[in-house]
Structures are given as C-alpha cells and as structure tokens.
Amino acid sequence: LKIVILFLYFKSVKKNNMKVPKNDRLEFVKKSSLGHIGLTLLPSMTTKIHASDRLRVAHIGVGGMVNNHLKWFAGLNEVDVVALCDVDELHLAESLKTLENLRPGSNAKGFKDFRRILDRKDIDAITCATPDHWHSQIATLAFQAGKDVYGEKPLSYDVKEGQMMLKAQRKYNRIFQLGTQIHATDNYHRVVEIIQSGAIGKVHTVRLWKTGVPPDLTETKVKPIPKTLDWDMWLGPAPYVDYIPSKCHFTYRYFMDYSGGVFADFWCHIADVVYWAIQPKGLKSISARGEVADGIANTPKWIDVDYEFEDLKLFWTSTPPDVPGAANRGIGAYFEGEKGTLICDYETREITINGERVTDIPEIPKTLQRSPGHQQNFVDSVKSRTPSESNLAYAREMTLPMHLGLISWQLNRKLQWNAEKEKFIGDKEANAMLSRKPRKKWDLT
C-alpha cells in the first residue's frame, strides 16, 4: 500500500509539472514509513503548506463580522494572519489595530484591492466577510489562485453563483468552509443523532422560523462618497447607484441588489440542522408571500415560504408557528415525525414522544464526532485536504431553497422546480432571476 501511495504521489507530481524539493520528498517518504499518511491525504500533494506547517491566512472584508474572524483565527496557534483587506480605509486601519492587540508585533499588511491578496504566493487561505454580493466572485477567484476559503454566509448572491463556485472548487481542488459557526455546536450534533436514530420516526414536516424585521431606513438623500471609501469597488458586480449611506456597510443586507434581508441572513443557520439531519431531496415547488420592508429598503419585511419536496413539507415563517415550545423561541426548527416531534434552536432542544417531553434520550449513542471548533475544523481540513464540516457541496444544496424563496416572493406566485436540472418549470421570468449579469468592469470570473 505504501508503494502504491508513493507511486501515485510522484505520478501526480509529474503530471502537474510540480517541482518538489528533495527534502520534501524525503519528508513524505519518512512519514509514509511511519504509517502516518493514507490514501485520503493524497490530494494535499497539490497544495504547498510551508515548512513550519503554519497556515498563512488573509482576511478580506474587515470591520463587522470579520473582526470576529480576526479573533478566531488569531487565537489559533498554528495560524499566521498575514494580510487584511477592505475598500474602506477606516475599517482597514481599525482592524489592523485590532490585530496588533491580538498579535503584538504582527507584520500583516493592509490592502484595498483583494486581488493583491490573491496574487501573493505566501498566503494559503482567505476568509471572506464582504457584503453578500461579493462572496462568490472572491471565493471563485481564490480557488483559481490556489487558496482555500472560509466564507461568510449566505454562500452566494444567486443560484448561478453557487454553481460557479462549486465547479471552480472541484476543478482547483480547494477546501471551503461556510461560516455557519452554529454547525459546530454540540446541540446541533445531538439533534442530528436523535433524528437520524429514528426516535421520532420518519420526518414528514419541518417548520422553520426567524422573528425580526429590517430597520426602518428613511435616509434617501445622496451624499458625497467618503474619501476613505472606494464606492465603485464596494458595489463591484452590483448595479451602479449613487452613494446613500444606508445602502452601504452594515445595513446593505436590506437591499435586494446586495442581499436578501433577515431571511437570507438567517436561513442557513437554522436550515442547516434540517439538511444535516434529514437531507431533503427532490424539491418540487416553492410558494412565498410577504410584505416589503418599510422605508427605502426592499427586502422582505416578513416572508413565509412553503416548500414541497418528494417526501417532505417544509415551511418557513417570520413568526413562531403554532406548535408547542415555539412561542418563546426567536428562531427554531420543529420536526414532525410519525412517532413524535423535536423542537430546537441554537442551544436547546425538546423531544416529545407519546406525550412525554424530554431534552435528551440517553439510550441513543453519540455517533457523530464533535467539532474541534468551526475555524479549527477549517484549518484541519486545509492541512489534511479532507472536506470541512460545512463544505461547499453541502452548503450550496442547503442554500439553494433560500434563493428560490426570494424569487417566488418577488414574483408573488407559486413556482414549480426541476431539481435535477435546477430550473423552474415553464417560467422564463423566474429562470431569468436565477442569475444576474455583473457590471462589465467587475465581471472578474
């Protein structure tokens, strides 16, 4: 087996015209002889982690969420944060100060253009916490540049972008982790174990919800673009509009040109446990209704969506459903099975079988390996070249219904879906909304 591994490795090196230093070959042989390398690690031979085996990470899109990225990754001893990037000079300066406090003496450099990050050969991976409409282009370009990606949710702006990301990730053999940190919690692992054990029987209905409405954004006056902000690049692939502060930075997500509001923001966090536990297949129809946000925002003020799968009905609502235990949860999932029910949110769960309510069923064994932490899992995956917990293929499938729900809401009609072809049935207008042509200047992929 070791001989086969060595043969396949050096064959891959020759095929890809890779120049491998003699010391690297000796190190590989040494590890193989100790039995530390198996066939599952072979894809890593196309990725070069430098001699110290430390992961060199750059953060793209700083301020807000990425400052959490800074803290998470700077807190991992095997990670070096080597660069930061943002189109707003103020955000960049503040984040460099944050990094200096986290890692005194840091030599990380700041950049305005993320392409300068991707050009650097001394960067192994990036995190991306830009506004949503930039997520897919940056990730796809990073894959092409040979870099692994920890990307914030939602995964992409539209359906085509998700398809494009997955194609590039597979072509360039990259690692991806969606920033659904809640996926790493023990509670989600336990919910999945209980559902998959069959304790509540075959699940036929799931109800998801998230309360909350967009802020009332009333500022409509066009303002001068701040000198510290590259507004044109901030807009990037989105249509050009004059600068209105409400459309930028932290409230951008309430405009359809950049995101999908509360629904797009939270869908993946709670749909995640459903897709993990029961893996819905064969989506057939989507029917959404709701109101537009107040003020100048144009994402949903509230949205309810009915999804019909082959053997599952899934409902999303903007208020808790009328089921036991939902009223006091601002976000949640309610599984209805043939034998009982399970309700959960990020941190709690309750199972009801034959009228008896419990928080756990000790007889059901722990079958899922617990996460070392969402960011640590990404680092481990980069080094081992094995899929991460929230890998791209999984994340794209889980994100897809969110995009379709927004299209149904915008058109205000029920839509029929061909899951195999990933197209709406007999609806050209809806199919045209599966993708958006980027502005020519910023169509980089």
Using alpha carbons only, what angle is made at residue 63 by residues 57 and 66, rounded to the nearest 5 degrees?
40
Q: Alpha carbon 53 to chain centroid distance?
A: 26
Q: Where are the beta strands (DSSP E) in 258-339?
A: 285-292, 300-308, 313-317, 331-337
Is the alpha carbon torsion for 98, 100, 101, 102 positive or negative? positive
- What's the DSSP call for residue 152? P
pLDDT of residue 421: 98
Interaxial angle between packed helices 89-102 and 65-74, expressed in degrees from 0 to 180 and rounded to the nearest 10? 30
Q: What are phi and psi of 416, to 5 degrees?
A: -95, 140
Tokens of 123: 């960067």
Residues of the chain with pLDDT under 50: 1-10, 12-47, 50-51
- How far from chain centre, in Å, is Cα 260? 15
**Which residues are within 8 A (CB) of 126 and not within 5 positions of it... i.e. 6 or more apart?**
57, 58, 59, 60, 117, 118, 138, 142, 147, 148, 149, 150
Query: 171-186: per-residue pLDDT in tens?
Result: 999 999 999 999 999 9
Of 107, 95, 104, the C-alpha closest to 70 is 95
**In a 3-state reduction of DSSP, which class is residue 170?**
helix
* Nearest by Cα to 342 from 189, 180, 207: 207
Burial (CB count <10 Å: 0-12, 13-18, 19+), residue 34:
exposed
The pTM of this model reads 0.88
Using CA atoms, how far apart are residues 131 and 276, in angstroms rounded to an integer?
26
| pLDDT (0 to 100) of residue 68 | 84
pLDDT at 53: 84
From residue 407, give the alpha-carbon distance in Å to each of 266, 286, 347.
Answer: 17, 9, 31
The pair of structure tokens assigned to 107 is: 């030599």
What pLDDT does residue 46 have?
43
Between CA 44 and CA 432 the distance in angstroms is 39
